[in-house]
Amino acid sequence: MIIVMQSHTSKEEVDKLSSKLQTLDIKSENISKFVGQQKVILALMGDTTNIDSQSIQSLSSSIEHVERIKKPFKQASLEFRYGEYSEVVVSTPKVTVPFGKNHPVVVVAGPCSVENEEMIVQTAIDVKAGGAQFLRGGAYKPRTSPYAFQGHGESALGLLAYAREATGLGIITEVMDSADLNKVAEVADVIQVGARNMQNFSLLKKVGAVGKPVLLKRGLSATIEEWLMAAEYILAMGNPNVILCERGVRSFDNRYTRNTLDLSVVPVLRSLTHLPIMIDPSHATGYSELVPSMTMAAIAAGTDSLMIEVHPNPKCALSDGPQSLTPVEFTELMQDVKSLSKFFNRGQKLPFATAQFATKSRLTIGV
């Protein structure tokens, strides 16, 4: 449920209403950016089924109207933000990167698994040079076979932290088990919940409670509504920073593509939710040859971010080699990513350090 208040409602009036709501045991959040200049929107948190709109309306003469959100995913719905798309701002020790519809396309790249120090640091350097803002890499791997490489666990987390220190890239890594959550949260700038755990509701609650941004991958056969309800679990824990990642769904043919990339989710999610969107063409297709075209299609469809697997030597990768790009292929793809993002007005501005360097070198040339 949201409360729409008249434009120019004073901060005092908004605070007075929030306190009245609080005495009725209703938690509210002011989601308006500029109080006093535009309509003020108060979003009511929690289960509001038994709250009567009429009695809310009577709490303040500044209330224009009260809207009940009919979708089952309340806080994830676009209505909950009164039609405004939210941004998830990830602050890493060295950079701050916003994800969202009104921001440049963010690129997350790196190997499926963290294999050793040299490979993760070198991959981090390479993907950064190509233009990625985040390094991905699994420490805990959800594998179909119990005999397949399961990830190096805690030691891999240490290597990710080291790669961040070496490059300044943000870190995205998956948590599979709540027993590892604190350790993962200590290193990750964004905690990934993988496709196989999308409906692990107890894990979602615990991840939500940590308060770090969360990347929620779509389940292998999850409907869009099930996916948004999974996001709702995290939001309901008071964590508004959720990014939705499409990574392909199961369909009848897995001979030529590992999964089926459902790119129609981009416009569908735009109509349903305010949350930022990521597309993972690597897990969606399973083959590196298919990654470039699906990456470009994802940008054209309007994705906010991309996740691309990159390995220094895909043939020897401990997991997901066939779908991993080499650093050279990634760098080539990034040229097209940059051009196409710019075409759609979603181009990255030069990172601060690079901009500074460019100015300096221009000055030197000028002298």
Q: How far is CA 172 from the centre of its chain?
A: 10
**Please, which of residues 44-83 interact with Mn ion by CB under 5 A?**
none
Report the C-alpha gap between 279 and 291 in whole angstroms: 11
Smallest gap from Cβ 193 to ligand PEP, in A, equals 8
By beta-carbon proximity to ligand PEP, the closer residue of 13 and 115 is 115
- Contact between 33 and 110 under an 8 Å Cβ cutoff? The reply is no
CA 124 – CA 175 distance, rounded (Å) = 20
Q: Nearest to residue 76, comparing CAs of 101, 107, 43? A: 43
| Residue 247 touches which of Mn ion, ligand PEP, none (Cβ within 5-8 Å per kind) | ligand PEP
Q: Which is nearer to Mn ion, 17 or 317 (CB)?
A: 317
Is 112 a binding residue for Mn ion by CB under 5 A? The answer is yes
Of 320, 329, 340, 341, which one interacts with Mn ion (CB under 5 A)? 320
* Residue 221: CB minimum distance to ligand PEP, A: 12
Contact between 28 and 41 under an 8 Å Cβ cutoff? The reply is: no
Stretch binding Mn ion (CB under 5 A), from 52-60, 110-118, 207-215, 247-255 = 110-118
Give whichever of 74 and 217 is closer to ligand PEP, judged by the CB atom: 217
Q: Which is nearer to ligand PEP, 112 or 127 (CB)?
A: 112
- What minimum distance in Å lies between the beta carbon of 325 and ligand PEP? 14
Query: Would you say 63 or 114 has its CB closer to ligand PEP?
Result: 114
Interaction site with ligand PEP (CB under 6 A): 112, 138, 142, 174, 194-196, 217, 247, 283
Q: CB of 202: closest distance to ligand PEP in angstroms? A: 18
What is the distance between the alpha carbons of residues 277 and 212, in angstroms, rounded to a whole number? 17
Residue whose C-alpha is closest to residue 102's, from 350, 305, 353: 305
- Residue closer to ligand PEP by CB (options 63, 216) is 216
Q: At its nearest, how many Å lie between ligand PEP and the CB of residue 141?
A: 7
Strand ranges in the chain using DSSP code E only, listed in sequence order: 2-5, 28-30, 40-44, 63-67, 88-91, 96-99, 106-110, 134-136, 170-174, 190-193, 214-217, 242-246, 277-279, 305-309
Name the DSSP class of 35: B
List of residues contacting Mn ion (CB under 5 A)? 112, 320
